[in-house]
Amino acid sequence: MKPVHPLSDLSFAELQQAVEIVKQLHGQTELVFKAVTLEEPPKNRVIKYLHAEQNGLSLPQIPRVAFAAYYFKGTDTFITTYVDLSSGLVERTERMGPKYHGNVDFKEVVHVEGMVMKNPAVIEEIKKLQLPSHLMVIPEAWGFGTDGVDDAKRLYQVYMFVGEKSNPDSNHYARPLAFSPVVDPVKMTVIRIDQIPTGRDWKTSDTAPWRYVPPNEYVPEETNLRKDLKPLHVVQPSGPSYAINSDNVITWQKWHARIGFNYREGVVLRDVRYDGRPIFYRISLSEMTVPYADPRSPYHRKQAFDLGDVGAGLVSNNLKLGCDCLGAITYLDGLLVSPEGQPVVKENVICVHEQDNGIGWKHSNYRTDRACVVRNRELVIQQILTVSNYEYILAFILNQAGEVHYEVRATGILSTAAIDPGCSVPWGTIVHDGVLAQHHQHLLSLRIDPALGSFTDGNRLAYSECYAMPMDDFNPHGNGYISKTTLVEKAGGIDLDAATNRVFMIQNAQILNPVNKLPIAYKIHAPPMQKILAHPDSYHFKRAEFADHNIYVTKYRHDELFSGGKYTNQSRGGEGITSWVARGDHVVDEDIVIWVQFGLNHVPRIEDFPVMPVEILKVSLKPVNFFERNPSVDVPPSRQEFNLSTLVDHGAVTTRCCDGDVRRE
Q: Is residue 461 within 8 Å of residue 448, measured between CB atoms?
A: no
The type of residue at 254 is: K
Using the minimum distance from each CB to its own copies, give the nearer residue, 295 or 574: 295
Smallest gap, in angstroms, from Cβ of residue 73 to its own copies?
Answer: 23
| C-alpha–C-alpha distance, residues 467 and 484, integer Å | 8
Q: Which of residues 133-162 bind its own copies (CB under 8 A)?
A: 147
Report the candidate in 166, 112, 167, 118 with the shortest Cα–Cα distance to residue 140.
112
Smallest gap, in angstroms, from Cβ of residue 119 to its own copies?
Answer: 18
Site for its own copies (CB under 8 A): which residue of 77, 119, 411, 454?
A: 411
Q: Which of residues 228-247 bind its own copies (CB under 8 A)?
A: 228-241, 243-246
Decide: is 214 part of the binding site for its own copies (CB under 8 A). no
Decide: is 72 part of the binding site for its own copies (CB under 8 A). no
Smallest gap, in angstroms, from Cβ of residue 658 to its own copies?
Answer: 7
The type of residue at 394 is: L
Decide: is 568 part of the binding site for its own copies (CB under 8 A). no
Smallest gap, in angstroms, from Cβ of residue 323 to its own copies?
Answer: 5
Binding mask 286-305 for its own copies (x = CB under 8 A): -----xxxxx---xxxxx--
Binding part of the chain for its own copies, among 32-40, 153-161, 221-229, 278-286 by CB under 8 A, reads 221-229
Smallest gap, in angstroms, from Cβ of residue 126 to its own copies?
Answer: 18
Report the candidate in 255, 380, 403 with the shortest Cα–Cα distance to residue 326.
380
Decide: is 110 part of the binding site for its own copies (CB under 8 A). yes
Cα angle: 92, vertex 98, 104; to 5 degrees: 85
Spatial neighbors of 432 by CB under 8 A, at least 6 apart, are: 174, 213, 216, 416, 609, 610
| C-alpha–C-alpha distance, residues 334 and 337, integer Å | 10
Using the minimum distance from each CB to its own copies, give the nearer residue, 147 or 420: 147
If phi > 0 it is left, if psi is from -120 to 50 it is alpha, else beta; for residue 68 that is beta
Residues binding its own copies: number (CB under 8 A): 193
| C-alpha–C-alpha distance, residues 462 and 479, integer Å | 26
Other Cβ atoms within 10 Å of 231 Cβ, number:
4
Decide: is 538 part of the binding site for its own copies (CB under 8 A). yes
Using the minimum distance from each CB to its own copies, give the nearer residue, 14 or 294: 294
**Residues belonging to the active site:** 306, 390
Alpha helices for 603-644 (secondary structure H): 640-643
| C-alpha–C-alpha distance, residues 454 and 448, integer Å | 15
Binding mask 636-665 for its own copies (x = CB under 8 A): xxxxx-xxxxxxxxxx-x----x-x-----
Burial of 274 per CB tally in 10 Å (0-12, 13-18, 19+): buried
Smallest gap, in angstroms, from Cβ of residue 483 to its own copies?
Answer: 5
Site for its own copies (CB under 8 A): which residue of 539, 556, 562, 595?
A: 539
Decide: is 574 part of the binding site for its own copies (CB under 8 A). no
Using the minimum distance from each CB to its own copies, give the nearer residue, 102 or 412: 412
CA end-to-end distance (rounded Å), the chain: 59
Site for its own copies (CB under 8 A): which residue of 259, 285, 336, 401?
A: 401
Residues in the chain: 665
Q: Is residue 557 within 8 Å of residue 577, measured between CB atoms?
A: no
Q: Is residue 397 within 8 Å of residue 376, measured between CB atoms?
A: no
Decide: is 632 part of the binding site for its own copies (CB under 8 A). yes
Decide: is 211 part of the binding site for its own copies (CB under 8 A). no
Decide: is 336 part of the binding site for its own copies (CB under 8 A). no
Q: Which is it for strands 503-512 and 135-143: parallel, antiparallel or unpaired?
A: unpaired
Site for its own copies (CB under 8 A): which residue of 540, 549, 555, 566?
A: 540
Q: Is residue 433 within 8 Å of residue 256, measured between CB atoms?
A: no
Binding mask 497-526 for its own copies (x = CB under 8 A): -xxxx-x---------x-xxxx----x---
Decide: is 462 part of the binding site for its own copies (CB under 8 A). no
Q: Which of residues 171-210 bind its own copies (CB under 8 A)?
A: 201-202
Q: Which of residues 358-397 bind its own copies (CB under 8 A)?
A: 358-373, 375-377, 384, 386, 388-389, 391, 393
Site for its own copies (CB under 8 A): which residue of 328, 494, 511, 588?
A: 328
Decide: is 323 part of the binding site for its own copies (CB under 8 A). yes
Distance of CA 616 to the CA centre of its chain: 13
Decide: is 476 part of the binding site for its own copies (CB under 8 A). yes
Using the minimum distance from each CB to its own copies, give the nearer residue, 11 or 93: 11
Q: Is residue 242 within 8 Å of residue 355, measured between CB atoms?
A: no
Q: Which of residues 18-57 bind its own copies (CB under 8 A)?
A: none
Spatial neighbors of 649 by CB under 8 A, at least 6 apart, are: 664
Smallest gap, in angstroms, from Cβ of residue 396 to its own copies?
Answer: 14
Site for its own copies (CB under 8 A): which residue of 136, 494, 588, 624?
A: 624
Binding part of the chain for its own copies, among 84-92, 116-124, 150-158, 321-329 by CB under 8 A, reads 321-329
Q: Is residue 64 within 8 Å of residue 86, measured between CB atoms?
A: yes
Decide: is 613 part of the binding site for its own copies (CB under 8 A). yes
DSSP states of 72-94: ETTS--EEEEEEETTTTEEEEEE
Decide: is 439 part of the binding site for its own copies (CB under 8 A). yes
Cα angle: 543, vertex 549, 552; to 5 degrees: 95
Q: Is residue 298 within 8 Å of residue 157, measured between CB atoms?
A: yes
Binding mask 114-133 for its own copies (x = CB under 8 A): --------------------
